[in-house]
């Protein structure tokens, strides 16, 4: 089991380059299976989730490898549409493969991804969308089998602008017969990236980034080369790290337009944020001010994936702040751990009431999920003393060697691997 040991109290300073977006690369890699041949996907981060997706593509018969930040995947030998349960368990985003496999093979077998630390994570909107396109869905136990002789375009209204459901429907509709219109679609930048990738493969669609996406199905797609967008959540995480340590940090290879709502809240907290073409600078020399209310919302609202990190900043701000989590029903698991470091937070259903404290103190804390883990690292950077963050594998799902990234900014973060002590004693 690995853990990070963090010596807190040091302001971050310097410049780092942000890696490509996990949540753009995953659906793009899933979509590659729709076109036979060799695809080259660039700016792909070296993360656990990416390696699981590559293992799934290999299990489906593809050849796939990551060299540096470039993935080469040859889908011509794909010969299966059954996602292995073991791999499905490792990453619920495997559900993104339903649309592409239905489009390519006319059938797919997956398993209910189940909930995780942040909430129930249902996939009913995915299944309803695929059924609207003519797929038959059969659930027995936790196995889900979908098949369709021919997918046919349809008008689909999403009850909620689900990112994954929007992406699955876009991919299935790209090769369906006729026109599909998705209403109340998710508007995240990763949706726009997927549309751009599909268009380079020959798909016909418009509207990604708005709440209405229109797709005209085509019979065939061709393999292509594509570069995914920078990771806006890793960018936002590093912005918060700079702010809580009262540092001065420049982030390169970013898209400031993807972080408008985050920049707005940071400025309300008194943090200086300046942007240029693909650069963001964050400077904070005084104690941040409380922000009366931060509400997570679908893009372009404040991202749920930066809620834990923002909670750390507000825990150290002057005054009382409220965070309301509207996307997931269980995304406050980091509150107990932050409280053990001295934060003063009370939660009631999906609201957190935060009374800022002048400092937090190092402690041994446990990551419960990807972004909560990142938040605990940020808290450790600001804390007085030493913080040990356990269950680091959660963090590695979304951050490429976070200790090296922060180390480039002067942080003292080391990774340790705990050897199973009982084997040494027996
Ligand atoms: C994507 O998850 C991201 N993951 C998540 O990032 C992100 O938090 C989320 O979008 C919201 O922005 C990837 O892109 C790989 P949703 P996704 O479908 O697609 C409910 C991270 O940290 N819902 O928009 O699963 C669901 O329960 C991860 O990188 C249904 O009810 O998110 C949740 O409450 C965490 N039925 C809400 O919608 C459905 O069929 C948002 O889910 C689908 C979703």
pLDDT at 88: 86
Averaged pLDDT for residues 77-95:
88
Query: Known catalytic residue: 116?
Result: yes
- The pLDDT confidence band at residue 153, using thresholds 50, 70 and 90, is very high
What does the pLDDT look like over 267-325, one tens digit per residue? Answer: 999 999 999 999 999 999 999 999 999 999 999 999 999 999 999 999 999 999 999 99
Averaged pLDDT for residues 210-229:
98
pLDDT at 114: 67
The closest-lying atom of ligand 1 relative to the alpha carbon of residue 160 is 38
114 lines ligand 1 (CB under 6 A): no
125 lines ligand 1 (CB under 6 A): yes
Neighbours of 149 (CB within 10 A): 10
- State the binding site: 22-23, 92, 305, 327
Q: Which residues contact 180 (CB under 8 A, 6 or more apart)?
A: 133, 153, 154, 155, 156, 169, 173, 214, 215, 217
Query: Do residues 242 and 248 lie in contact, with contact meaning Cβ atoms separated by under 8 Å?
Result: yes
Domains of the chain: 2-18+230-425 (3.65.10.10), 22-227 (3.65.10.10)
159 lines ligand 1 (CB under 6 A): no
Only one residue has tokens 């807190």, namely 8
Three-state secondary-structure class, residue 156: strand
Q: Which of the listed residues 19, 22, 23 should we mutate to test ligand 1's pocket, taking the one with most ligand atoms within 8 A of CB?
A: 23
- The pLDDT confidence band at residue 424, using thresholds 50, 70 and 90, is very low
Instruction: For the chain, give the percent of residues with pLDDT over 70.
Output: 98
pLDDT at 117: 75
pLDDT at 236: 98
Rounded Cα–Cα distance for residues 315 and 345 (Å): 8
160 lines ligand 1 (CB under 6 A): yes
Say how many Å lie between the CA of residue 162 and the centre of ligand 1. Answer: 6
Burial of 27 per CB tally in 10 Å (0-12, 13-18, 19+): buried
Residue 94 has pLDDT above 90, yes or no: no
Rounded Cα–Cα distance for residues 402 and 87 (Å): 24
Say how many Å lie between the CA of residue 265 and the centre of ligand 1. Answer: 22
Rounded Cα–Cα distance for residues 229 and 26 (Å): 12
Q: Which of the listed residues 30, 119, 121 should we mutate to test ligand 1's pocket, taking the one with most ligand atoms within 8 A of CB?
A: 121
pLDDT at 119: 80
Say how many Å lie between the CA of residue 163 and the centre of ligand 1. Answer: 6
More confident residue, 35 or 419: 35
Burial of 131 per CB tally in 10 Å (0-12, 13-18, 19+): middle
Atom 1 of ligand 1, nearest CA residue:
163
Instruction: For the chain, give the percent of residues with pLDDT over 90.
Output: 90
Q: Which of the listed residues 193, 327, 368, 371 should we mutate to test ligand 1's pocket, taking the one with most ligand atoms within 8 A of CB?
A: 327
């Amino acid at each position: 089991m690995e853990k990070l040991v963090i010596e807190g109290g040091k302001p971050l300073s310097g410049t780092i380059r942000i890696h490509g977006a996990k949540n753009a690369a995953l659906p793009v890699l899933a979509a590659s299976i729709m076109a036979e041949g060799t695809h080259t996907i660039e700016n792909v981060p070296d993360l656990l989730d990416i390696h699981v997706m590559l293992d799934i593509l290999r299990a489906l018969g593809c050849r796939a490898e990551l060299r540096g930040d470039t993935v080469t995947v040859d889908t011509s030998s794909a010969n299966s549409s059954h996602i292995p349960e073991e791999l499905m368990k490792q990453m619920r985003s495997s559900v993104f493969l339903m649309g592409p496999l239905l489009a390519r093979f006319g059938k797919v077998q997956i398993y209910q991804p189940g909930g995780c630390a942040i909430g129930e994570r249902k996939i009913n909107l995915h299944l309803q969308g695929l059924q609207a396109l003519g797929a038959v869905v059969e659930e027995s136990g936790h196995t889900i089998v979908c098949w369709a002789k021919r997918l046919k375009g349809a008008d689909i209204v999403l009850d909620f602008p689900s990112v994954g459901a929007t992406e699955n429907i876009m991919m299935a509709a790209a090769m369906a017969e006729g026109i599909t219109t998705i209403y109340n679609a998710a508007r995240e930048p990763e949706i726009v990236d997927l549309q751009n990738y599909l268009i380079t493969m020959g798909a016909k669609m418009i509207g990604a980034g708005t709440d209405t996406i229109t797709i005209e199905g085509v019979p065939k797609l061709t393999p292509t080369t594509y570069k995914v967008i920078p990771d806006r959540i890793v960018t936002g995480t590093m912005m918060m790290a700079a702010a809580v340590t009262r540092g001065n940090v420049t982030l390169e290879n970013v898209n400031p337009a993807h972080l408008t709502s985050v920049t707005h809240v940071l400025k309300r907290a008194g943090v200086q944020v300046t942007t240029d073409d693909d650069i963001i600078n964050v400077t904070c020399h005084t104690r941040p001010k409380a922000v009366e209310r931060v509400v997570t919302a679908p893009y372009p609202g404040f991202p749920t994936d930066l809620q834990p990190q923002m909670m750390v900043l507000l825990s150290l701000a002057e005054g009382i702040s409220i965070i309301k989590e509207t996307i997931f029903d269980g995304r406050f698991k980091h509150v107990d751990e932050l409280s053990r470091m001295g934060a003063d937070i009370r939660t009631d259903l999906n609201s957190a009431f935060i009374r800022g404290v002048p400092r937090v103190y190092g402690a041994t804390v446990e990551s419960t999920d990807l972004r909560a883990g990142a938040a605990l690292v940020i808290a450790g950077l600001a804390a007085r003393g030493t913080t040990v963050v356990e269950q680091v594998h959660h963090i590695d799902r979304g951050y490429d060697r976070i200790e090296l990234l922060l180390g480039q900014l002067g942080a003292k973060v080391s990774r340790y691997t705990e050897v199973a002590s009982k084997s040494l004693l027996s």
